[in-house]
Amino acid sequence: MYVFLDKFFFIFHALFIVFSELSGMAVAAIVAGRLHAASTAGAVRTGFFGFAAVGAVLLALFLGNLAALGSARAVVASLLVGPAFWIGAVGAALVFPLVATGRRSLWPGADRLVILGAVVLVGVLAFRYAMFYSAIAYLEP
């Protein structure tokens, strides 16, 4: 049990690091989009795809650990943090950058990176909200 909890906290910290990197990439995307910096925009697209892919794998491991510990309801199904987690953290911070950077023809335009960065920033904030308030949701009946 203690070894399992140790792995749980390792994945939790790694997940926070990946989401912090995603927020940094989001700020870089907003700046690169506003300044029309082509070389920075290419690097930001690559970074978004890589960090979102790593974040998706770590999030799957994190949710698997929560389910094994019997604590997944606090994050996944709670009315307090469930919608922010699924729409914000999973949808806006992980799935949207994977889709938007993986298929460039899906959404053409110069302001694409600005909007992508803003959506990812909202998703990262939703992830932090969900993780912070999941302890409160766990105590709810």
pLDDT at 79 (0 to 100): 66
Residuewise pLDDT in 10s, the chain (141 residues) = 444 555 666 788 888 899 999 999 999 989 988 888 878 888 888 888 999 999 999 988 888 887 787 777 767 776 667 788 888 888 888 888 888 887 766 565 657 888 889 999 999 988 888 887 776 655 655
CA pair distance 73, 64, nearest whole angstrom: 12
CA pair distance 83, 37, nearest whole angstrom: 35
CA distances (Å), origin 48, targets 63, 65, 128: 22, 25, 18
- Looking at residue 89, its amino acid is A
CA pair distance 79, 138, nearest whole angstrom: 11
pLDDT at 17 (0 to 100): 92
Residue where the block lists tokens 């960090």: 51
pLDDT at 104 (0 to 100): 67
Among residues 127, 32, 114, which one has the least CA distance to residue 82?
127
